[in-house]
């Protein structure tokens, strides 16, 4: 009997112990509180993560927007430079057209055709320069020959001349120290008698000398004997002295 009573006392004490009621309640409700706290922590973390994601997305959008703005500015600068370049090239083309003779650009509207016309004009000018240089050298040679003849024969009027080809024809250059007394008409008569057509005849002063230039058209240069023409000229004007290369 006594052990049973002790057991009942123990059971009674256990059932009415207030601390034992707290323990089962803690065991029942404790996990829920822990879960709720964990959920609150997760929600806070998710909020932070969501905020970080939105921040990164906004940052990327801002970066993309900045890159697009920079690309747009670069394109605008490129277009402006291209526009200025076209304006400058247009001004240069217009200036070039004003320098070209009409026959080199007539009927040519395209810029490429006008550039070809400019190239042809440059080649033409180079050819003319070479012709003038050759003519200058001939005049120097004639001038020096005339001086040499004057020294050898005293101050007697001496004339030197040279016959050369020029633009599909012939050209006679005569240098003398007697401008008014030179019988130019005799020279012209010899030329006409040889069947040549005079297209240009001019006279000018060069220092203390006079220079006569006679240009003629020749239909067939193979039938013309230049040595015979020079002989006829010296016969017509005995003072003439032919200069050869």
80 and 148 in a single domain? The answer is no
In a 13 Å sphere around the CA of 142, the CA atoms on its Cβ side amount to: 28
Domain annotation covers residue 92: yes
Residue 129 lies in a domain: no
Same domain, 94 and 138: no
pTM of the complete model: 0.42
236 plus 150 within the same structural domain: yes
What is the number of other CB atoms lying within 10 angstroms of the CB of residue 133? Answer: 10
In a domain, 2, yes or no: yes
Q: Give the range of the structural domain holding residue 141, as residue numbers without chain letter.
A: 134-242
* DSSP letter (8 states) at residue 164: E
- Residue 106: inside a domain, yes or no? no
Q: What is the pLDDT of residues 8-41, one digit of tens each?
A: 444 444 444 444 444 444 444 444 444 444 455 5
Strand pairing category for 169-176 and 159-166 = antiparallel
CA angle 99, 103, 107 (to 5 degrees): 100
> In this structure, what CATH number is given to the domain that contains residue 200?
3.30.70.260
Of the residues 98, 120, 143, the one at which a domain ends = 98
Q: What is the pLDDT of residues 220-229, one digit of tens each?
A: 766 777 888 8
Number of compact structural domains in the chain: 2
Domain boundary among 77, 98, 119: 98
- Residue scoring higher pLDDT (23 or 139): 139
């Amino acid at each position: 009997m006594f052990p049973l009573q002790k057991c009942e006392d123990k059971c009674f004490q256990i059932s009415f112990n207030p601390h034992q009621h707290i323990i089962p309640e803690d065991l029942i409700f404790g996990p829920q509180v822990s879960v709720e706290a964990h959920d609150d922590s997760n929600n806070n973390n998710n909020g932070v993560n969501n905020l970080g994601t939105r921040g990164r997305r906004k940052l990327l959008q801002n970066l993309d927007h900045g890159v697009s703005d920079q690309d747009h500015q670069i394109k605008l600068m490129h277009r402006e430079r291209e526009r200025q370049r076209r304006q400058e090239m247009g001004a240069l083309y217009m200036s070039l057209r004003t320098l070209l003779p009409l026959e080199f650009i007539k009927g040519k509207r395209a810029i490429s055709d006008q550039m070809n016309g400019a190239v042809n004009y440059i080649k033409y000018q180079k050819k003319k320069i070479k012709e003038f240089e050759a003519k200058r050298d001939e005049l120097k040679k004639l001038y020096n020959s005339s001086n040499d003849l004057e020294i050898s024969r005293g101050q007697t009027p001496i004339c030197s001349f040279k016959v050369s080809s020029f633009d599909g024809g012939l050209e006679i250059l005569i240098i003398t120290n007697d401008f008014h007394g030179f019988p130019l008409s005799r020279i012209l008569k010899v030329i006409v008698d040889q069947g040549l057509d005079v297209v240009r005849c001019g006279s000018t002063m060069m220092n203390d000398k006079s220079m006569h230039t006679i240009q003629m058209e020749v239909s067939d240069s193979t039938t013309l004997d230049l040595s015979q023409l020079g002989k006829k000229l010296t016969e017509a004007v005995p003072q003439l002295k032919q200069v050869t290369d």
